[in-house]
Structure 1
Amino acid sequence: MLLAKERVKGAMCPPRLLLQSDQFPLALLQPGAPAWFPKGLWSDPSPRAGKSGRGEAGGQWRGAIIAKAARSGQWGGDRHPALCVYGFSSVTGQFPPQHLLSFPISQPLPHATPIVGGLRPGMSIYVQGTVPHHTKRFRVNFSCGPQKGADIALHFNPRFDSGDKIVLNSFQQGKWAKEEHEHNMPFHEGEPFELLFTITPEGYQIMVNRTPCCEFQHRIPPERVQVVEADGDLELQSLNVIGGGMMGGGGMYYPQPGMLGMQPNMPPPPTSLPMMAGPASFHPQVPYVANFPGGLTSKKTVVVKGLVPQGAKSFRINFKMGYSKDIALHINPRLNEKTVVRNSLLNGQWGSEERELPHNPFQPGQYFDLSIRCGNRRFKVFANGQPLFNYNHRFHNFQQIDTLEINGDVVLSYVQF
């Protein structure tokens, strides 16, 4: 459980409360206590959330529960609801629609990702997130150290409270330098975004939602950058370093959150996912087909980031044997069924489907971050940094799996393996 408290008009409220358990007694909401939900929360008719958005809290809720404190005035009038809870109610004996259990998990802020060995031309920083409603400003800082007051090679600061602009600057020897402004604001309140910083010999090329946004010339050598930090009015889904990893060539590092206190020369902490050895393919076209040189190996990880467009029905990620039409692992998000089907096609025959999930990360209009790791006995799949499912090998000579195929209703941000 992640619980961070802040004071809202004299009351202690948890602005981010993430609960993932099979059984959770509602200590915060007693049986019969009123529970205020945002209007329009339920897409299906529900006796617990009618036009007024008011329901009653049960003695316990089961399933994956995501609770989020409402900020002052955000959810109707002068009421200040404490929690918005999604799950199974023992009062109604029903689950809400499955997609209500499937929200991107925000990283705690401030968030810091270490840059091992500094930045170099050819490397990129990839950020996924959402601009919340009623935002004022957020920032991404390329800092030369984790300590307060360290030099900042690039300060990227979208501001909604001073004319909708992006401020770019650097901070050196305790002083801010001259600001540069970008007035064509590509970020919009309440909407998700993807942000890509590409390091070139001359500076930083910045893209937002696949569109060039602005550039910033180097004032401080990028090799001095040790940490990339994100903070402010931002719902951060992921922040990844692409290229220049410890394995040589390209690479990706999945950091642990909250690393602001790390020492400059401290090695990165152990992670649940290894680094990628190959270069990333940015914004590839769909259908997408690529080959794994030498086939899959144990601990090989494939990363797929993308966007599920509005109106999408389904898409497919297939791990295939190039010499045949067989599919060792078929991942099939079906938006119209609100499920993710996994299966194998061997010797021309489909096997039994697997559908159970702790949550569904594929939602219309939302970005996703999928990591598929090949183990000796099974595939382990992570979504947005959280375990999603395991899939035991049905085709055991996984070294012969040499083709990745992605097609259907999906917009790819990048693929790396």
Structure 2
Amino acid sequence: MSAAEHLDPIPDSFILQPPVFHPVVPYTTTIFGGLYAGKMIMLQGVVPLHARRFQVDFQCGCSLHPRPDIAFHFNPRFYTVKPHVICNTLQGGVWQKEVRWPGVTLQRGASFLVLFLFENEEVKPFVEGSREYPVGYPFLLYSPRLEVPCSRTLPRGLWPGQVIVVRGLVLQEPKDFTLSLRDGATRVPVTLRASFTDKTLAWVSSWGRKKLISAPFLFYPQRFFEVLLLCQEGGLKLALNGQGLGATSLDQKALEQLRELRISGSVHLYCVHY
């Protein structure tokens, strides 16, 4: 199986994302820059000989609890007399009115190529060998739970081995990005702050002390980013876009007292996971 996307040729108007070859199924990935009108996703694979069904979900975020909204659910089914495709949307934990397409050209034991074309308020899947684009409604662009500023509670605080993952897209004319961890007394023991004005990344303590992170500035306008915080004994280890950028000190008692994760700044969020 491989997945690729059609990219707008205008410079700086797309997020470059290479194709993925032979991924392990089930497979989950972040779509750099999100989905917008004109974007296309291509999916190639082979249906197993005894397959009953498979599905492709374009979802808003990657949380486990609560389950994220699914903007578009594509579900070919082969166990009925006539194979067909079910398309739907999951919103607030409730499935919406489904669309059923009979006579799908997908077959057990055969290879396939499916194109998903995203428009303003609809999705058009095209299966190789068919004559038209079926249309699915509705299409949710963003999840309200990921609107910035975004806040998440940490009921048990942080402990060694816990990981916080934040994925998103930097806006076109960004000013700053802030990730703060607050304790029960609403103090902010530690903040990660990126300044797009002077291209600096720093840890800021509760008493205002600023410690610059001496590493390349990896935030770019209209580009995808991933911030990873690994909690370990003595503090938090930071990685940005897969590159380790050192750690900040914080004793275990302070880590356990942290109760809120807050994210603000010039970004669109696509995932907040911990």
- Which of the five TM-score ranges fits, normalised by the shorter chain? 0.5 to 0.7
Moved over 4 A (4+): 104-107, 141-145, 149-152, 168-171, 179-186
Does the residue aligned with 2:261 lie in a helix, a strand or coil? strand
Is 1:127 the counterpart of 2:30? The answer is yes
Partner Cα separation in structure 2 for residue 290 and residue 416 of structure 1: 9
Query: Match for 1:408: what amino acid?
Result: G
Per the TM alignment, residue 283 of structure 1 is displaced from its structure 2 partner at its CA by: 5.4
Counterpart of 1:365 in structure 2 is: 222
Per the TM alignment, residue 286 of structure 1 is displaced from its structure 2 partner at its CA by: 1.3
Change in Cα spacing, 1:128 to 1:355, as seen in structure 2 (3 Å) is: same
Counterpart of 2:189 in structure 1 is: 328
Counterpart of 1:302 in structure 2 is: 164
Counterpart of 2:98 in structure 1 is: none
Counterpart of 2:213 in structure 1 is: 355
Counterpart of 1:401 in structure 2 is: 258
Percent pairwise identity: 18
Gap regions ≥5 residues in structure 1: 1-73, 75-103, 120-124, 131-136, 157-167, 187-210, 217-280
Query: Which of 147, 166, 183 does residue 285 from structure 1 map onto?
Result: 147
Gap regions ≥5 residues in structure 2: 1-8, 10-14, 34-39, 58-103, 127-142
Does the residue aligned with 1:397 lie in a helix, a strand or coil? helix
The answer as to whether partners of 1:377 and 1:392 remain within 8 angstroms in 2 is yes
Deviations 1:155-182 (A, max 9, x none): 89xxxxxxxxxxx974531354xx7765
Q: How many residues align?
A: 193
Give 1:7-22 correspondences, 5 Å limit: none
Does the residue aligned with 2:213 lie in a helix, a strand or coil? coil
The answer as to whether partners of 2:159 and 2:252 remain within 8 angstroms in 1 is no
Query: Which of 206, 215, 240 does residue 383 from structure 1 map onto?
Result: 240
Deviations 1:10-36 (A, max 9, x none): xxxxxxxxxxxxxxxxxxxxxxxxxxx
Partner Cα separation in structure 2 for residue 129 and residue 150 of structure 1: 34
Does the residue aligned with 1:320 lie in a helix, a strand or coil? strand
Structure of higher RCO (CA pairs closer than 8 Å, 6+ residues apart): 2
Deviations 1:108-162 (A, max 9, x none): x5444434xx58xxxxx343348xxxxxx873457678xxx99794689xxxxxx
Query: Which of 338, 343, 348 does residue 199 from structure 2 map onto?
Result: 338
Partner Cα separation in structure 2 for residue 305 and residue 375 of structure 1: 21
Partner Cα separation in structure 1 for residue 115 and residue 272 of structure 2: 32
Report the TM-score when normalising by structure 2.
0.57
Report the TM-score when normalising by structure 1.
0.39
Quick check: which has more Rg, 1 or 2?
A: 1
Change in Cα spacing, 1:106 to 1:386, as seen in structure 2 (3 Å) is: farther
Q: CA RMSD in A?
A: 4.0
Counterpart of 2:268 in structure 1 is: 411
Does the residue aligned with 1:399 lie in a helix, a strand or coil? helix
